[in-house]
Amino acid sequence: MHNMTTPALQVSLNGKRLDTQATTLQALLLDQGYALQGAFACAINSTFVPRAQWPERRLQADDRIDVITPIAGG
């Protein structure tokens, strides 16, 4: 019998390669321990993704995800 689990996607998160079972941006953020109510923004392949789109923004192999957090005390 074949195992029906989703094959892992390989993506880049803040420059670090990782394999993930997450299929959406929001799922990836949760998997990586980000608090969704936190102050940060996300871009995929250098394109800003509005927070409202995180739950449905599908990930694809080799996507480059950048999580941008504010710098305290600037």
Residue 45 lies in a domain: yes
Q: Which domain holds residue 18?
A: 9-68
Alpha helices in the chain (DSSP H): 25-31
Residue 43 forms part of a structural domain: yes
* Alpha carbon distance 57, 34 (integer Å): 16
Angle at 6 between CA 26 and CA 53, to 5 degrees: 20
Tally of domains within the chain: 1
Question: pLDDT band for position 69 (50/70/90)?
Answer: confident
- Provide the pLDDT for residue 73: 74
Asked if the structure places residue 74 within a domain, the reply is no
For residue 49, give the CATH number of its domain.
3.10.20.30
Residue 23 near residue 6, CB atoms below 8 Å: yes
34 vs 70: which has the higher pLDDT: 34
Question: Which amino acid is present at 64?
Answer: R
What is the per-residue pLDDT for 4? 62
Does the residue 1 lie in any domain? no
- Helix or strand run (H / E) with residue 48: strand 47-49
Strand partners, 52: none
pLDDT in tens, 13-63: 999 999 999 999 999 999 999 998 888 999 999 999 999 999 999 999 999
